[in-house]
Structure 1
Amino acid sequence: MTSTLFSALDAPAESHQRTGYRLQTVEVFNWGTFDKHVWNLRLDSQTSLLTGDIGSGKSTLVDAVTTLLLPAHRIAYNKAAGADVKERTLRSYVEGHYKSERNEATGASRPVGLRDHRSYSVILGVFANEGYGEQITIAQVFHQKDRTGQPDRFFVTASAALSIDPDFTAFGSDLKALRSRLRAGGADIDNTFPDYHRRVRRLLGIRSEQAMELFHQTVSMKSVGNLNDFVRDHMLEPVDAAPKVKAIVDHFENLVKAHEAVRTAIDQLAVLAPLVAAGDRYDDAAARHAGLTDQRSAVVPYLAERVRELLDGEIGVREGEVTALESQRADVDRRRADLVPIRDRLKLERAGVGGDRLKELDVEIPRAGLERDSRADRRRKYDALLQGAQLAPVEDAADFLSRSEEAQLLRGRLDERLGALKDRRDPLFVQRTDLRRSRTAAQEEIDRLRDGRSNVGRDLDRVRAALCDALDLDTDELPFAGELLDVRETHAQWRGAAERVLRGFALSLLVSQEHYAAVSEWVNDHRLGARLVYLRVPERRVRSIPTARSGRRLIDVIDVESGAFADYLVAELASRADHVLAESVEELRREERAVTREGLVRDRDRHEKDDRRSALDPRAWVLGRASEQKIAALTEERDRHDDDLARIDREFEVVDADAAALAGLGRALTGLEQYGAWREIDTAEASAQLTALETERERLVAGVIRARRDRSSARGDRRAGCRAARRSRRGDPATRCCAR
């Protein structure tokens, strides 16, 4: 509890602007004995003391202020002078009664006034709110039409400062013209006091009717009989306590019932605890039983699968043996088929020498030569494919069959190696993409910082630039809080802690009241592509009195840049950076709000330490405008990314070389699959067939020559015999011999 009636905010220093409406000026015209001139009392929103001789008009001015704020039927005029209740009335003030005249004939007296029905009266008050630069005017205009009764009047309110002269003068003799002129000037006119009273309360911000009642009771008060009764009757709002008491009693009964229910539930839980534990043990046993049952059920399929794998292997071996036997049988069939012509030819030779066989050999020998050349070419290609597949050369049909099986095995392993190569390549590709993106981001941030841009980050800087371009504003008119705050060089060791505590506030855009509406409309109408927090900075703030602090605080190591936002930032730091700079965890535990150099932040019962980045990593700093350390850290990060990219490029070269080798192996295996039988590349067999045909032809040609020679010799012998016979038997036709 404070020992004074008013707080420090209610009694500010002279330099501090006052907020709230205070009476600034009172003006009267033709009011009481203030006649024919405008009388002005300037209070200048100060607490004033009105003094003067008896009858100088002090109560008259007080009654004018009272008339402006209270209805006439509730006002006790001239109460300040201690006069009788009926001594003065509203009519006496309007007509200007100043004495009484006595009628000698009747003995009655009547008041004498300074004015008649041809004049009018005006009372006016101006209230000012210096804290917000606002002024309002309330006034009443009176006109006494009849000789008896109360005067007619209308009520005026305006949201600006008015004066009797000239606002209520020089309008002629018709008050309707005055009404019209006031309305044209923006004033509101009411004909009844209740409407006028509601408007006055709204303009002055008087929410409670009790405040007007208190004013009515205290105006011109000289003494208070019982202070308790006065406060209870006039200063406190009437309230019916019975419902609240009933609600408290009902709430207490509900709390008792709830407490009993909680106790019952606790007792029930204690009884059920062994049952719950038994149920948990049963669930565990059931889970283990189900697992063992599943394992037992999987034994038969597992054994069947293993048997199937073994049989598949055995079948593969037997199929390979069958293939080898079929190949041998095909070779035997081919050799047998090749022997059939030889057998037939030998039969022909046995029947006679030569014949058409030489013609057949002239056709078969070139064909056999082409077959030998074709097999030799295919053999060279086959040997090259074997070398490409890194397989041993072949010499016979058994080697060919073995290489075919080895090629099939390599084909199966090739897919596995290609899959493994892809598993190596894909992570490298992802790493390279991420590193390139991070490297580009770091370089862009370095370029942006070297251009003198803000530490708050690229996205927020982009959003602010677009906002300033759209509203034709300079970036200094919409600063981020972090740009105006920095850690003092002498306390650089606490920068990490300051960054942890103030990061959210530092990334907030400061928007003055002048630009608040335009900024809010632009932000609402555009998709920002980033998270933006902005704070409205009011034009005027109630100055808070700083509280006494013990020990070094975070606010003590923060510099605030001078300018339009300096006072606002200082006030915000008083609540946001009121952390004790704790040298140890023990000191942290003793304080309500504290922070360590390592970045552990305590705010009463809440503790936080965000180690996703080091507290000493300049890349995440957002306070201040200097960026040399941040640029150096980003440059180091960029160089590290360059080294990682070079290493990944070298790994890519190795992977690409392995991929090229596997591609060559795949092409070689695909080419080997085109050779289905050993005979297609058996050059020895083709050469042997060609040699046999050539030998046969030579043999047949030699036999034909020998046969011709024998036949020629036989014919010569026959001719010689014939010639001898002719010589011995000349002229004998029976012994003629004709050599044919």
Structure 2
Amino acid sequence: MTMVDSLFGLIPAASTGQQWVALDLQLVNWGGYDGHHRVRLASTATLLSGGSGSGKSTLMDAYIALLMPHTTPFNGASNGGVVGRPRGKDQRNILSYARGKLDESRTEEGTRQRVLRGDGKDTWSAIAMTWADQSGTRFTAVRGWYVPSSARTLEDVTAVRATCETAFDLRDLEPAAAQRLARSAVAAAGLTCFDTDREFTARLHSTLGIGAAGDGGKAVALLGRIQAGQQITTVDALYKAMVLEEPDTFATADAVVEQFDKLTGTREQMITARQQVKALEPIREHRAAIEEAAARLRVVDAVGGFDDGTSPAALWRHERRLGLLRDVETDLQGRHREAQRLAAETSARIAAARTELDGVKQTLWASGGDRLATAQRELRGVGTRLDEVTRARARLEEVLTSTLGTSVTTLEEFTDLVARARHALADSDAKAGARQALFDAMSERKEASADLAVLRRDHDDARHRHDNIPGDLHATRAALAQAAGLAPEDLPFVAELVEVRTEHEPWRDAFNLALGGFATLLLIDIAHLQAFRRAIDTVRTGRRIRFEGVPTDLRDDVGMDGRTLPGRLDYRQSPFTGWLKGELASRFAYVCVDTPGELAQHEKALTRGGQVSEGRRGAHGGQGARNVLGFTNTRRLSDLERQVEVAEARLASAEARVEEAEAAWDRHDATLRAYTAVVELTWDQVDVAGVEAERDRWQFVVDEVTSGNPDVVRLQQRAVELEVLIQDLTEQLGRTKGAAGDLGERWSATTDAVDVAQGALDAAHDAGTQLDPEQRAYLEHVLGGGAADQPSGGAADQPGADARTDPSAALDAFDAVVSRAADLLRADRQAAQQTVATAREALRRTFETFVERWPDPNLGTDPDASYADYDRILTELQAQGLHELEAEWRKSLLRLSGNDLADLHSALSRSVREIKERIRPVNDILADLPFADDDHRLRIDARDTQSTVVARFRKELRELREVLSTEATDAERERRYHRMAKVIDRIRRTSPDFADLVDVRRHVRLSAEKVDLDGNHVALYDHIGEKSGGESQELVAFIVGAALRYQLGDAGAERPRYAPVFLDEALIKADARFTGRAIGAWRGLGFQLIIGAPNDKFSALEPHVDLKYVVLKDATGRSRTKPVAGVAQDAGTTRDGRGGTGRSGV
């Protein structure tokens, strides 16, 4: 592209389009710039350099305050780490700039700001910038603020947004400032005011040509990001941070979430409605129970009591009882006549049977019937005796066989057995011997069991210890130690501190005898002795124990002679070991000798048998005593195990002896019982053969009589039958006559009762008593039904008679119920009252639960007063609420699936495509700009990132959209809802997956590559940090500048319509050559640069700019600009004729 130098700097030669460049920037009371200041700007490049804090960024922020929305933070280049809301109280803001905040100080009233102006009085501030195009047209934008002394937030400030179609001097606003920047005063100064930021920025964008197709917001946002110039490490991050704004997928995802939340709200309403219906459904049942119980109470009160003869209850009783009495009267009358008839018939049958019996007996006696009768009688008696003798003989045989192993068949054998039995029963010595044998065996078992228990206890105790001290000594020591507040380990026995060496094991018994009681001496630190004595004085123990206070931690360097007792011991390390060795060496230095003859050769000597010699004295005996020496007890455990085995064998033998003795005792006892049974019998009682012979004799007589005259048997049987019949009929006749008499008496009494009941009923009617149907039905229900079901009683008691078939039983049942009528009515009253109370309480709980779950100040909880409200709610919910809510939920679900999810899926694909499409015009711009040299160009490349998370998410979107388009049951819809909820939760702004899934900028990886004129790849530019400072500045300039051309809407034009680009602390990382290349890139794209840089970067930037300023700050905190080159000396003259070297800056 051929560039020409013009009034506006280097521009494309073929360009004829309009371009706006900034002519100057004016400030009034802005930050450190106190009063009016004007900074003229070159149409090519202007440099503002100065020290840190001098006010460079303040000038840059003035441009931001004028042109950009309130969401753009101030001082973005210098304070990338600030927090809080942009332009909030924690950052630079309009108020702090208007008052010229210097710093803060802590006072008694709190934190106080130190400011250049506006401290306790009103002040005002204003910013203006004038632009010009090639035709000389001027356009000025102004922002002003009147700040009262009481202002704390921007809402307390009067703001001015205005434009002017020509140049404007901010000093002309001073009269308007005196009027608090009233709109009329501002308009009088020649400015056109705007009410809102939206109108103001729309005017700027349309006039200055900012943004394509009227969308200037994106272009201005990019200008702000360029001005902030934050450090970015990769081309991908650079392009996404500087060029790409928030994609449409954010808004689409938010819309999907919002729609789903509406769906969720509908679902919650539906669930709530269902829960409310479920909660209120029982109230109608409770209400019905209350009304029914209340009606019963009214009836109970109305019927009165049965004691009042004129009450409705008494009238009902009289009516019912009179009807029942008449039924009984009729029944008794019929039953009396039937009884009389049956009695006459039975008397006739008895007389006929007696006549026939007399004839049969006469015939029978004439045919030998008396002998037959005698034989049959005797035969029956013999049969009975035979059964008894047989049973007795069987019992005897069982006893003899099982116990004595014998049997008897003759009188002589039985007599001999009885004699032996009496002799055995008289022998008391045999019984005493068996008893004594059992006692001796049980005593031995008890003793063996006790010994075994002791040995096992000793063995268990030994397994948990490592010494050979007896258990009673251990217990005594533990008691004393506890009383003294010491541990048992602090009080060792001497025997616990020594062990016989393995090679001298045969001397163990001798050493035990020689040491004697010294081995069980309890040792205590002498420092604790007095306290120990005081503590144990009141302790009572069964075993006496000796103790001694000894010094501890003595040196363990006592020499031991291997021939003596102390030299043949091992010692456990303890605080007492030094003392113990010395004590043993001085008191028990016995020389171990093999024979008694050697005892006299030594002052102290000891034999293996345990004899000790001390000159003319000595000691011997006591062998077999228990070993107590050693801090290991392996030997004792082995001894105890052998003793336990012997004791177990002894116990097993004792158990066997007890079993044998018990068996012998049982056998002896059984024999005595058998002999006792024998001596109590006689032979006649068990002689089965004798009784059978007698039976046979009488049977022979019967056979003899019956064989000679067969009619005798028949006559005899007939006589028996007639006698039985006469007896039965006689008994029946007695019962029938008694029943007839009883029925007659009851009939007469019932007739009298009918008369009495009729009189009572007539008296009730005469008294005017009435019984309405409701009362009658109630009494029938409570009392009448119960009477019919009562069992019969009294005179009506007959087999199978009951109240349903027997009038007498029905009357008795009714009288029984009436006798309990008061209790029944009282119980029914109480039941009704309880029903009312229970139902009311249930209603109260239901109402309370309802308003607790769904608060409503218009709903009460009284069961009576509030029932209508809850019934109305239930009616409305049942009539239309649930159905409408469910239909709305289904409709929303389908709408979400058909529209929103589809939109989100499409937006994801479309946004990725738009990112790639937006790179194309940027590349078209870059294609005309030499990069590095005239033979190369820069090109931006976009590649899709391969993310399995995003792929699975988009697949889930497609599947869910397809599933939701089909019909489903309620259960399936519920499952679909929860599945969809999981998807929606992932695209919420608060979700950790939100950025990865919704921010499509992450779905594309951007890089830059250096290509030749034919488009062939030369080099890849991905990580900016890998390049030098100059190369990275040039790369950023090319990429961001081309993108800015696109955002400004000038991608197809020869130069941008809006030229100013502010770079705060940019182009400061390279030498003059590379800085020039970066500035050349910006200017080659047709932009006007205003660069802020620190003083140390002035030399690198100075050759490439046409206008230079130094920003200075004096001791009072006031800033000003001083021109270095490019501005005439009178360029900064103010309107009142004063030079520009003072507060106005230039």
**Category of TM-score, reference length = shorter chain:** 0.3 to 0.5
Name the TM-score, length of structure 1 as normaliser. 0.42
Name the TM-score, length of structure 2 as normaliser. 0.28
Identify the structure with bigger relative contact order (alpha carbons < 8 Å, sequence gap 6+).
Answer: 2
